[in-house]
Structure 1
Amino acid sequence: MPPAALSRLDVALLAALALVSAVLLFWATGSKILAAGFVAGLAVAAGGVLLVRRLFPTAAGGEAATPDWTMLRQAVNHDDVAIAVTDRTGRMVCANDLFATWMGGFVTPPGLPVDGRGAELLKNAGRTAWRDGEGRADDLAIGPLRLRAQVMRTGQAEDYLVWRFAAIERFDLVAELTRHLGGPAGRTLGHAGVMAALVNSEGRLRAANEAFLLRALGEEDARHYAGRDVAAMLRIDDGGALYFAREGDRATPVRLIQIPLVSSDSNSPVLLAMLDEEMGPADRGTAQTYVETLLSLLPFGLALVDRDGRFLYMNRAFKRAANLPEAKMPRYPGDIVVGEDKGPLADMIRRHSSGQQVGGDLSIRLAGQSGDPVSMRVVGVRGLGEAAVLLSLKDSSEESRLKRQVAQASKMQAVGQLAGGVAHDFNNILTAVLGACDLMLMRHTPGDSDYDDIQQIRSNANRAASLTRQLLAFSRQQTLRPQILQLPDVISEVSHLLKRLIGETVQLSVHHGRGLGAVRADPGQLEQVIINLAVNARDAMPGGGTLTIETYPVSATDVRQMGNEFMPPADYCALKVSDTGTGIPADILPKIFEPFFTTKDVGKGTGLGLSTVYGIIKQSAGFIFADSKPGEGTSFTIYLPVHRVAGDAPAAPQPPAKPKKSQWGSGTILLVEDEDMVRAVAERALARAGYTVVTAAQGEEGLERFAGMEKVDLVISDVVMPTMDGSAMVRAMRARRPGLPVLFMSGYAEEQLRQSIDIDNVSFLPKPFSVAQLAEATSAALDEAAHRGGRDG
């Protein structure tokens, strides 16, 4: 029955009961006034109830609005906590994105893909939450990921469960202490009078510094100490003083300080620190002074806190991990964390300040830093004067930086491989387009109706070829033609073009240092580097400015003083391009060499300029670094290694380029190419140049054609082909005719292919190529073979 109908039935029933009650009251008393007053009172009460139900329909009806789960899902999105909500029927009603990432999808708890007994632990935690309101499951594993789960019952009717999963950061403090106690840190502690040892839960020795071993075991037994009982090494006299047992009655008493490292379970190791008490029992504060000396020598971030929650001492490692100034020590631990973490940290310190030797971990976010959580360990201590709590903070800044560098390098490598593969396939298409245009231009002359259209197609194909060269340059797979050259000569060749590119509002200033050595690089690609940097500098100076290009030598000593861990010490020639423009913000500077990243407006940049520069320099065995401050300009410094020949003598200058070969010739050519369109264009081009051409679609077919030919003057083959590649085919052919001339063509870089080909006396033609370039390369290969006397007659 609907609520409205139920309400009307209730009113009719109440009215009937009120009328009967009034009649009975009149019959009993005989007073009409009393009966009428009774009826009026009931009517007023009923009216009040109806008024309340109209003013507060939800409260009166006991019904709640259906929650907006979409809005709730956005509200629970966290970067470090995975959250899911289930109802009493076990159905998933909401989860954030991190939950789906960790669990491999929106899987309903407790049936998650956890390892071992994790599913059983989660099921028990859910039952506990339904019964007690909260449940926990620690040390869950999903592959390498370690998680801690908290389950809470919530909702107005408490008919929902909230599942919260947080990652557990593990730091093997025991392994680090074991390593340091036996190294320089342990010797430094010994020089300061601190004897330190690491003891397992059974009281047996795991590691110790040299000072402890010499006092406890002596020089002869110090080498074989692992597993010995520490209790047997010590003795206590009637007055409660502690001594080393082997030192006898004339031993010096020692003070023992126990520091638990990980937890209070049965397998918890303990760090023992022993200090001599030559002056008798230590007065107030002496133990704390010794401990502060101990903490200052350890490489871990450690601090002491008193029972009121105030800092007593922190070592340099703690200040460095918390990013605090050297001369500043905050008053409370809450001063070094963000506002949301002050309460949990204060509560944990308060729980551990009772002196119980137990510890716990807390994930906090440090104030003034990037917001990435770090792990702080809180341990209760005693016997250290005013100190009640020991805090341990791990400096993870270097680890985070290395993780970001590895992720960035992996991303750049993956994008480079993708770019190289796309450029290789695209080069085959461009080779066919350019070849077809060249063949059509042979049949059309300027003035024909189709001549301009063909030229436009060829021009756009060349632009596309330039784009693929940029992709190959970024992925370091382009074909370079390195020469021995001087940087000032390259800058002189390109300076006239730079003046036109940068405009009249930008002044060009060039300075060359003395004693520059020769470098080995592709002059055309090096000019492209300078042009790209100059154009970027021009765009950064819209109101005008100065573009400065400098060259200067950098010795191996200078490199060592720079302290750059990426550049090996050697002699370099430096090329520095600087501007006085707007500069690059600090958050954008690490991204400038990424492909397709640009700050220019849409249509004004491809985002490949600086990534191309980076690829060319790295492929030339050089290094490039950017330095910029907003409003102060930007400078790019390129370091190219000095090229030397045998001994230490400078390399001789590159011989002049050979004259172009003729585009006509004669002879029989075997053409092997798996791309039909490239093979068809190359066949037509070679036939027009006067050659007799026999074609094959792949390596095995090429061998069959070769076996049936009486005369082969040259083999032109692609390198990468299915079934049998070009290099395997050529080896089989040369096994029959050792002097066979070969011209390889490929969209991959020549240097990359020569490492895998390993065949002597072969020529190389990079794709895409024009008809003229194919004819010239063919003529050059035949002439070179004739000069070697290897042409097949």
Structure 2
Amino acid sequence: MIRYAPAAFKKKSMAFPFAADLYIMETWELFGVFLSDVRNTEEQLKVSEERFRAIFDSISDAIFIHDPETGAILDVNQRMCEMFGYSKAEALRLSVGDMSQNEGSYTQAHAREWLARAAQGEPQLFEWLCKDKSGRLFWAEVNMRRASVAGTDQLLVLVRDISGRKKAEEALQQSERRYRELFDSMIDGFALHEIICDAEGKPCDYRFLEVNPAFERVTGLRAQDLIGRTVLEVMPKTEPYWIEQYGHVAMTGETLHYKNYSAELGKYYEVTAYRPAPGQFACIAVDITEQRLSDLAKERSEKLLQAIIDTEPECVKLLDAEAKLIMMNRAGLEMLQADSLDQVKGQCVCPLVTSEYRQAFLDLTRRVFEGETGTLVFEVVGIKGRHVWLETHAVPFRNEKDEIVALLGITRDITEHRRLEEQLRQSQKMESIGTLAGGVAHDFNNILTAIIGYGHLTLMSMGPDDPVRLNIENMLEAAERAAHLTKDLLLFSRKQLINKRPIDLNAIVRKLEKFLARVIGEDISFQTNLPDPELRVLADAHQLEQVLMNLATNARDAMPMGGSFTLTTGQVRLNEQFIALHGYGKPEMYALITVSDTGIGMDEETLKRIYEPFYTTKEVGKGTGLGLAVIYGIVRQHEGFIHAYSEPGLGTTFRIFLPLLASMQGDEQAQPEMVSPAQGTETVLLAEDNHVVRNLTETVLKDSGYTVISAVDGEDAVQKYREHKDRIQLLLFDLIMPKKGGKEAYDEIRAIMPDVKILFTSGYSPDIVRAKTTLGNSAAIAYKPISPGDLLRKVRSILDA
């Protein structure tokens, strides 16, 4: 403790009066507290010193009192001991170097320089790197000042620990360095602005305060040309809209984010604007020109690709793993009856697949996402209810990482194809049945020829009252019905010979009108509607009559409790839409026969089978099942088409389309009256492989005066001709025989006798005859079964020709 004698203090040159306590304020100023009128007594001095020490030790900064000449420490306060970790006694023995880093600029020598300057009366304020007793380094702020105490010059040194402040400063500096590094190294452009408002407080311009290098790079503008200048000075064409937007950000603090094209800079930017301080806004600008141009090119490419895909007539689609639609072209949307992609995009397409095929569709989707490919035929029901059959080929669609991200499906509408396939199957079925019917008819005709022939021969030998005559007549009647059945089979198979002539369809209907009325009965209302004067078609009148009678009979049977039967004729031109829908016809005029009833109708399964021979829904004994099959055969043989529509309980309608003639080519001629067969005396060479028919024919000819030479096949016939060529006037050959057919045998005989006359016979239909032989259309043929009278008339007509 330094004791200051009262007499030493003067009121000049920083000397204080009689007694004073020294203390240091936070302003680092030295004040003297005057204790006036204090008597110079030992007791009073002691009180004064205690008061001084109390103040001295209570100051929060460390205080040193140094000898200005030697720099030795004369006194320290309590805070110094706490700050440096020394006791007061230890502190008085220390040098400044002991309490310094003692390296670099913080050594004992440097401390002496500071003390020397302070001793010369120059107050010193500086920072010093101190070291406490434990060796810990810390920063302190040092304030040195010279003072005259008790007539002695001394140095008063105040030391304040600024470690916390230094750390904060270092942190701030480090933060500023990081900010600057970040600011300067940002990839995105950054600019800080202040808003300039007009007299009314509305934003009218803004000034650039700071920009980073990236901003210079993305805009092409230099910082030196921007800082301190307004945007209207730099870019005079800046739209007021953007100044208003940025002003709103600076005044309200609301963030603004947008993408925009700058016409002045010729670039696309993505900008985020925010308020860092009131009246200011900062912009982070990303140059997205390259990306945007790439996006625009991609959009153009996608539009071009979509346009190409949309021209594809087949459906192109992408589905995700849950069968949800990602993309589909216009053809696919039409298949689903969707008005736009938005109507179905993102939705699972499974509900549109019929229940029968839904699981198969899901299984296909799963397999594709497992890396497989597949094809599926399935049925869908469009949004508006239309049923469509589709065939899809599905493959995995992969991204650039070769990951399966979608199912790519190419789908085509096969509805029409399936319908045509079904028609083809039906046609092939009918054709195969017809072929079978034609083959059966051949063998049956030979049998019937024998039955009818021998039956007639037997009748010719009987008297009118012969008790067996009735049995023979019944037998012949049954044989005739069997012959008609055979003809029906051939009509169904379209192999029966027909006689087509130009006829008036309406005339046929008028001719049959009364007969049809009797067929359907009085309890059924019958009405005809024939609006056209005449409808000319090329047809076999007898076969058309059979068509109408069969339809009338079916209608009658379908209305056991009575009803209505209508027959209407007319003409219609089939268009492309009708042809595409039904799968038949040509774009020309047709005569149309429409036959409708109000009977019990038919279900869909029955409709599919109505043209099959022997198929009937009638009770046993009430139908042969050939009626509609015959109608079908007749219509097709006339190059026409037949269509049936029916629903249970709602009746049935048949529509028959026959090609319409532009003009009559000749009226149907009356058939010549039948004349009795003439007798003959010529020699006939008969070749027939069926011995029953051969024996019958030989008997018929001989009974009429002819001489008959019989052969069992073609080879036998040629041999017999060579043996009897001078006697033979007519060849009567079956066309199709074993070893050698009738045509081949005739060709060999004609080489011997070119003018020889020939009549062929056959139990096959004309189609099969043409298929199995090279016979011309002018050749004379008698088709079995044929009665003895008809055979004799044909033989006579050829011999007389």
Using structure 1 for the length normalisation, give the TM-score: 0.56
8 Å contact kept, 1:361–1:377: yes
Distance 2:736 2:768 in 1: 12
Residue 409 of structure 2 is matched in structure 1 by: 392
Deviations 1:600-647 (A, max 9, x none): 23333222211111112222233222233444432222233345xxxx
> Does residue 361 in structure 1 map to residue 353 in structure 2?
no
Residue 729 of structure 2 is matched in structure 1 by: 713
Residue 9 of structure 2 is matched in structure 1 by: none
Return the letter of the residue paired with 2:749.
M
* SS of structure 2 residue aligned to 1:389: strand
8 Å contact kept, 1:660–1:776: no
Equivalent residues in 2 for 1:325-474, closer than 5 Å: 329=344, 331-337=347-353, 360-361=373-374, 375=392, 377=394, 379-382=396-399, 388-392=405-409, 394-395=411-412, 396-474=414-492
> Does residue 572 in structure 1 map to residue 590 in structure 2?
yes
Structure 1 residues 352 and 287, CA gap change in structure 2 (3 angstroms):
farther
Distance 1:733 1:475 in 2: 34
> Does residue 768 in structure 1 map to residue 785 in structure 2?
yes
Distance 2:546 2:760 in 1: 27
8 Å contact kept, 2:579–2:586: no
Return the letter of the residue paired with 2:769.
L
The alpha-carbon deviation at position 381 of structure 1 amounts to: 4.7
Structure 1 residues 287 and 657, CA gap change in structure 2 (3 angstroms):
closer
Structure 1 residues 439 and 410, CA gap change in structure 2 (3 angstroms):
same
Return the letter of the residue paired with 2:348.
Y
Deviations 1:200-255 (A, max 9, x none): xxxxxxxxxxxxxxxxxxxxxxxxxxxxxxxxxxxxxxxxxxxxxxxxxxxxxxxx
* SS of structure 1 residue aligned to 2:727: coil
The alpha-carbon deviation at position 325 of structure 1 amounts to: 8.6
8 Å contact kept, 1:482–1:522: yes
* SS of structure 1 residue aligned to 2:604: coil
Return the letter of the residue paired with 2:473.
Q
Deviations 1:509-549 (A, max 9, x none): 22224353533322222211111111111222222222222
The alpha-carbon deviation at position 672 of structure 1 amounts to: 1.8
Higher mean alpha-carbon deviation, 436-445 vs 322-331, is at 322-331
The alpha-carbon deviation at position 492 of structure 1 amounts to: 3.0
8 Å contact kept, 2:446–2:785: yes
Distance 1:765 1:465 in 2: 15
Q: Which runs of 5 or more structure 1 residues have no equivalent in the other structure?
A: 1-275, 786-793
Equivalent residues in 2 for 1:578-597, closer than 5 Å: 578-597=596-615
> Does residue 526 in structure 1 map to residue 544 in structure 2?
yes
The alpha-carbon deviation at position 370 of structure 1 amounts to: 9.5
Return the letter of the residue paired with 2:795.
T
Distance 1:366 1:484 in 2: 46
Deviations 1:658-681 (A, max 9, x none): 232332311222222111111111
* SS of structure 2 residue aligned to 1:481: coil
Residue 697 of structure 1 is matched in structure 2 by: 712
Residue 702 of structure 2 is matched in structure 1 by: 687
8 Å contact kept, 1:302–1:393: yes
* SS of structure 2 residue aligned to 1:769: coil
Residue 74 of structure 1 is matched in structure 2 by: none
Q: Which runs of 5 or more structure 2 residues have no equivalent in the other structure?
A: 1-289
Higher mean alpha-carbon deviation, 523-532 vs 754-763, is at 754-763
* SS of structure 1 residue aligned to 2:556: helix
Distance 2:746 2:494 in 1: 27
* SS of structure 2 residue aligned to 1:499: helix
The alpha-carbon deviation at position 433 of structure 1 amounts to: 0.6
Identical residues among aligned pairs (%): 33
8 Å contact kept, 1:516–1:552: no
- Which of 745, 759, 764 is equivalent to 1:743? 759
Return the letter of the residue paired with 2:617.
T
* SS of structure 2 residue aligned to 1:520: strand
Structure 1 residues 496 and 735, CA gap change in structure 2 (3 angstroms):
farther
Residue 622 of structure 1 is matched in structure 2 by: 640
Distance 1:318 1:522 in 2: 49
Distance 2:775 2:359 in 1: 68
8 Å contact kept, 1:318–1:393: no
Structure 1 residues 711 and 344, CA gap change in structure 2 (3 angstroms):
closer
Structure 1 residues 366 and 285, CA gap change in structure 2 (3 angstroms):
farther
Residue 104 of structure 1 is matched in structure 2 by: none
Distance 2:365 2:511 in 1: 70
Return the letter of the residue paired with 1:719.
L
Structure 1 residues 402 and 488, CA gap change in structure 2 (3 angstroms):
closer
Deviations 1:126-167 (A, max 9, x none): xxxxxxxxxxxxxxxxxxxxxxxxxxxxxxxxxxxxxxxxxx
Residue 779 of structure 1 is matched in structure 2 by: 796
* SS of structure 2 residue aligned to 1:577: strand
Distance 2:795 2:770 in 1: 19
Structure 1 residues 782 and 489, CA gap change in structure 2 (3 angstroms):
farther
* SS of structure 2 residue aligned to 1:422: helix
Distance 1:773 1:352 in 2: 73
Distance 1:561 1:687 in 2: 63
8 Å contact kept, 2:761–2:781: yes
Equivalent residues in 2 for 1:481-492, closer than 5 Å: 481-492=499-510
Equivalent residues in 2 for 1:226-241, closer than 5 Å: none
Using structure 2 for the length normalisation, give the TM-score: 0.55
Distance 1:389 1:511 in 2: 61
Residue 315 of structure 1 is matched in structure 2 by: 329
Residue 668 of structure 2 is matched in structure 1 by: 654
Structure 1 residues 335 and 493, CA gap change in structure 2 (3 angstroms):
closer
8 Å contact kept, 1:485–1:520: yes
The alpha-carbon deviation at position 419 of structure 1 amounts to: 1.3
Structure 1 residues 539 and 383, CA gap change in structure 2 (3 angstroms):
farther
The alpha-carbon deviation at position 589 of structure 1 amounts to: 2.3
Q: How large is the Cα RMSD of the aligned pairs?
A: 3.9
Distance 2:526 2:512 in 1: 12
Distance 1:419 1:655 in 2: 31
* SS of structure 1 residue aligned to 2:755: coil
The alpha-carbon deviation at position 761 of structure 1 amounts to: 5.7
The alpha-carbon deviation at position 376 of structure 1 amounts to: 5.7
Deviations 1:472-502 (A, max 9, x none): 1111111223333222232233333322211
The alpha-carbon deviation at position 397 of structure 1 amounts to: 3.3
* SS of structure 2 residue aligned to 1:519: strand
Distance 1:344 1:700 in 2: 64
Equivalent residues in 2 for 1:13-92, closer than 5 Å: none
Return the letter of the residue paired with 1:657.
Q
Distance 2:330 2:388 in 1: 22
Residue 678 of structure 1 is matched in structure 2 by: 693
8 Å contact kept, 1:379–1:390: yes
Structure 1 residues 364 and 593, CA gap change in structure 2 (3 angstroms):
closer
Structure 1 residues 700 and 662, CA gap change in structure 2 (3 angstroms):
same
> Does residue 666 in structure 1 map to residue 683 in structure 2?
no
